[in-house]
């Protein structure tokens, strides 16, 4: 067969002047190569645009994390479509990485297991810790990217010599709580360009660029729990749910709850207390006995939090800190002792075991840990 019969040789010559294999060069003058993790939302879309504006060579990647049913969340096919379309609009390459197996192993299974043991897990933190800033960051390094970029609302401070995670400029959107686990080494390979902007500014930038994600609503919920089925059915299928007996501090039976595995310390809704007049909260969950102790606001308060699995931005911190116990909750004054245990300046509501507690000085993250109970 003659190569020219189909014009293939001519086409080959037009595409490639030489057969020797050398990688394509990046745009002249590109300052660095960055891989942008794109969820299909407005924040990561603008993050990619900002990297381009600063003359970096930008490649987009969307992670397929969850193979089961979902209604929105970070890994729906329509979100991948949006991320890909934004990349097309920006003129950058886009890839999809399949981390469904890692997500199931390191996020979903621990989430289910935590509920089985009466803990209240934070799957977004697990995903950041084990997927986005572990396997993805590792792959970005191996692929020769200088930095991994995400659309998180945080900043990296370099004041004082080291690198520290800092709250985003838009305090209402700050995501430092879910990223407390990032080490100083990790921060050296990361960049969060949207952390300097307010959300309305980001939407405006996206609209100016004509990006289809400019007015897209934010995803709030856990991406693998559908609105239709809910957490209850998800867990019921995987671990089975068991009714709980509600008792007061004296051990007197005062009501029931449909599933002990779904009760979180601090919870008020969903507890059938037979019309008790004052506000009552779950103050303790005994999963083995399928018993939940309820009490008033004063009984819910505790002087401190017992903590495990600490992560420090630099060296372990001892002394006065501000401590935050939920993604957008207030940071309250507290004291960390030499063992890393936390005592509040004023008693605070108990923190459900399994939740993260993150320590700050000003806007800077000092570290964080996982709640394992309360101090007395």
Point out the residues that are catalytic.
127, 223
Helix (H) or strand (E) holding 349: strand 342-349
Tell me the C-alpha distance between 176 and 30, whole Å.
29
CB of 93 or CB of 339, closer to other proteins = 93
CB of 32 or CB of 361, closer to other proteins = 32
- In angstroms, give the least distance from the CB of 217 to other proteins: 20
- Sheet with 33-37: strands ordered across: 93-98, 57-64, 33-37, 147-149, 190-191
- In angstroms, give the least distance from the CB of 96 to other proteins: 4
Cβ contacts of 323-328, under 8 Å, gap ≥ 24: 323/357, 323/358, 323/359, 323/360, 324/177, 324/357, 324/358, 324/360, 325/351, 325/355, 325/356, 325/357, 325/371, 326/177, 326/355, 327/122, 327/124, 327/175, 327/177, 327/178, 328/172, 328/174, 328/177
3-state secondary structure 137-201: HHHHHHCCCCEEECCCCEEEECCCCCCEEEECCCHHHCCHHHHCCCCHHHHHCEECHHHHCCHHH
Residue for token pair 């603008």? 46
- In angstroms, give the least distance from the CB of 156 to other proteins: 26
- In angstroms, give the least distance from the CB of 100 to other proteins: 8
Tell me the C-alpha distance between 160 and 261, whole Å.
45
Nearest CA to 327 out of 190, 221, 195 is that of 221
83: left (phi over 0), alpha (psi -120 to 50) or beta: alpha
* β-bridge mates for residue 93, sequence order: 59
- In angstroms, give the least distance from the CB of 10 to other proteins: 10
CB of 143 or CB of 308, closer to other proteins = 143
- In angstroms, give the least distance from the CB of 101 to other proteins: 8
* β-bridge mates for residue 245, sequence order: 256, 291
CB of 59 or CB of 356, closer to other proteins = 59
Q: Which residues bind other proteins (CB under 8 A)?
A: 1, 3, 6-9, 11-12, 15-16, 19-24, 59, 62, 64, 75, 77, 80, 84, 93, 95-98, 100-101, 139, 142-144
CB of 93 or CB of 208, closer to other proteins = 93
CB of 51 or CB of 282, closer to other proteins = 51
Residue 84 CB neighbour total at 10 angstroms: 17
- In angstroms, give the least distance from the CB of 27 to other proteins: 13
Residue 149 and residue 51 in contact, taking contact as beta carbons nearer than 8 Å = yes
Tell me the C-alpha distance between 325 and 305, whole Å.
10
CB of 101 or CB of 207, closer to other proteins = 101
């Amino acid at each position: 067969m003659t190569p020219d019969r189909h014009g293939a040789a001519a086409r080959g010559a037009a595409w490639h002047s030489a057969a020797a294999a050398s990688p394509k060069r990046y745009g002249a003058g590109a300052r660095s190569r960055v891989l942008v993790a794109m969820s299909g939302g407005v924040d990561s879309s603008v993050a990619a645009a900002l990297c381009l504006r600063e003359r970096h060579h930008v490649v987009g990647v969307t992670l397929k994390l969850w193979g089961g049913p979902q209604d929105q969340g970070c890994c729906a096919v329509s979100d991948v479509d949006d991320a890909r379309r934004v990349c097309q609009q920006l003129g950058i390459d886009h890839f999809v990485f399949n981390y469904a197996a890692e997500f199931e192993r390191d996020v979903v299974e621990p989430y289910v297991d935590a509920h089985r043991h009466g803990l209240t897990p934070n799957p977004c933190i697990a995903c950041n810790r084990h997927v986005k800033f572990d396997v993805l960051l590792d792959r970005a390094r191996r692929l020769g990217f200088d930095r991994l970029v995400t659309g998180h609302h945080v900043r990296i401070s370099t004041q004082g010599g080291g690198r520290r995670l800092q709250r985003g400029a838009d305090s209402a959107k700050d995501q430092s709580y879910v990223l407390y686990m990032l080490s100083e080494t990790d921060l050296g390979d990361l960049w969060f360009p949207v952390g300097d902007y307010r959300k309305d500014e980001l939407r405006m930038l996206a609209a100016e660029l004509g990006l289809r994600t400019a007015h897209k609503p934010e995803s709030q919920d856990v991406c693998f729990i559908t609105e239709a089925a809910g957490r209850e059915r998800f867990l019921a299928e995987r671990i089975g749910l068991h009714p709980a007996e509600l008792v007061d501090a004296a051990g007197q039976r005062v009501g029931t709850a449909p599933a002990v595995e779904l009760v979180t310390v601090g919870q008020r809704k969903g507890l059938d207390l037979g019309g008790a007049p004052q506000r009552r909260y779950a103050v303790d969950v005994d999963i083995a006995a399928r018993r939940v102790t309820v009490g008033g606001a004063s009984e819910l308060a505790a002087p401190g939090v017992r903590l495990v699995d600490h992560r420090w931005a630099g060296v372990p911190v001892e002394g006065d800190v501000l401590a935050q116990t939920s993604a957008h909750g207030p940071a309250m004054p507290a004291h960390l002792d030499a063992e890393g245990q936390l005592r509040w300046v004023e008693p605070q509501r108990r923190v459900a075991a399994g939740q993260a507690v993150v320590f700050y000085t000003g806007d800077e993250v000092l570290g964080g840990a996982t709640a394992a109970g309360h101090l007395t």
